[in-house]
Amino acid sequence: MENNKKIILSGIQPTGVFTLGNYLGAVRSWKQMQEDYNCYYFIADLHSMTIHIDPQKRRQQTREAFALLLACGIDPEKSLVFVQSHNKCHAEMGWIMDCCSQFGELSRMTQFKDKSAKHPDNINAGLFTYPALMAGDILLYQADYVPVGADQTQHLEFTRDVATRFNHTYGEVFKLPEGYFPKAGARVMSLQDPTSKMSKSDTNPKATISILDDEKTILKKFKSAVTDSEACVRFDPEAKPGVSNLMTIYSAITGKTMEEIVDSVKRVTDIMGEITAASQEQTSGIEQINQAITQMRKVHARTLRSTPPARRAGAGGGEHVAHAQSLRHRQPSHVRGQPCRDHDAERLADHQRHD
């Protein structure tokens, strides 16, 4: 990655199967950006530890998230795709950023307030300092642009504030990153509560469209989406949040403007079939690719188990070590050469052994 291309960095938490919101708000841009930028995409497993679940399940979700990224078109030949905890520099940077963050600004973060309200029994310090860890992720790679959904706007502003503060105190070290938000689909709302965002960890399956849902399921979910008593189609997120959300999804998928949608669609129910077909077209193939990847990984894991450990991860042997080393060479020079890098190789190999 030694060229003059700008640097892109983004992450996604391994908290479930990606939703249409994740796809339209972030992952679709990731895929498109791979052609023109140096891209770093990671599974934010350290961030996901703010909500407790069985570690075995999280490990599984981390592997699934990795496979889903590949299935969504993130190409490891073009982009550097990795698991956050495999590079311990993230945790180290998180601490440095903690020390540059103010209690007051962290207290104002809406994600902290939302997640604390959802999990009142576990308001841990990690949930509170989450934005500092995220700032560290971004600044560590000197990212120019960060493609994310609109829910991350506040975290990006925070990152710029922390970087400015750090540069002021210690000298010009960090580049100030900019958020990159898609024109349509930056904020997809829940189908059951259109005033809150569609979220992959939502326990109500009717609230989200998963990128692995088949056409029948998608249609059923759109048909049971909460709208309002008016049959007309009008974009008004305040007065008609449900209908406006369906219009947003439709617009993000087809590229049609709100005016074009209003002109072509007369009743809310007319939009359902069309959105379903368009959503399915966007995500079709993802399930098959995901299955193929999972299958491939099973075969690979069997081969790995039957390989003597010395050959698996020993000096000069083992494709995972080679993979980790190739990652090392593709990291920016300020990240490369950190003492943590050898550890990466072990972690990658170890991660594979858990398959």
- Give catalytic residues, as residue numbers: 115, 197, 200
- Site residues (CB under 6 A) for ligand ATP, limited to 44-83: none
Q: What is the total count of residues that contact ligand LTN (CB under 6 A)?
A: 13
Contact partner at residue 187 from ligand ATP, ligand LTN, none, CB < 5 to 8 Å by partner kind = ligand ATP
Nearer to ligand LTN, 134 or 188 (CB): 134
Nearer to ligand ATP, 15 or 227 (CB): 15
Measured from the CB atom, the residue of 44 and 304 that comes closer to ligand ATP is 44
SS3 sequence, the chain?
CCCCCCEEEEEECCCCCCEHHHHHHHHHHHHHHCCCCEEEEEECHHHHCCCCCCHHHHHHHHHHHHHHHHHCCCCCCCCEEEEHHHCCHHHHHHHHHHCCCCHHHHHCCHHHHHHHHHCCCCCCHHHHHHHHHHHHHHHHCCCCEEECCHHHHHHHHHHHHHHHHHHHHHCCCCCCCEEECCCCCCCCECCCCCCCECCCCCCCHHHCCECCCCHHHHHHHHHCCCCCCCCECCCCCCCCHHHHHHHHHHHHHHCCCHHHHHHHCCEHHHHHHHHHHHHHHHHCCHHHHHHHHHHHHHHHHHHHHCCCHHHHHCCCCCHHHHHHHHHHHHCCCCCCCCCCHHHHHHHHHHHHHCC
Instruction: Indicate which single residue of 98, 137, 213, 344 sits in contact with ligand LTN (rule: CB under 6 A).
Output: 137
Judged by CB under 6 A, which stretch of 51-59, 145-153, 212-220, 285-293 contacts ligand LTN?
Answer: 145-153
Residue 134, interface with ligand LTN (CB under 6 A)?
yes
Identify the residue among 74, 81, 109, 148 touching ligand LTN (CB under 6 A). 148
CB of residue 70 to ligand LTN, shortest distance in Å: 18
Among 19, 34, 62, 152, the residue binding ligand LTN under the rule CB under 6 A is: 152
Residue 137 interacts with which of ligand ATP, ligand LTN, none, CB < 5 to 8 Å by class: ligand LTN
Binders of ligand ATP among 172-211, rule CB under 6 A?
186-188, 197-201
Q: Does 44 bind ligand LTN (CB under 6 A)?
A: yes
How many residues in the shown chain lie near ligand ATP by CB under 6 A?
20
Contacting ligand ATP within 148-167 (CB under 6 A): 148-149, 151-152
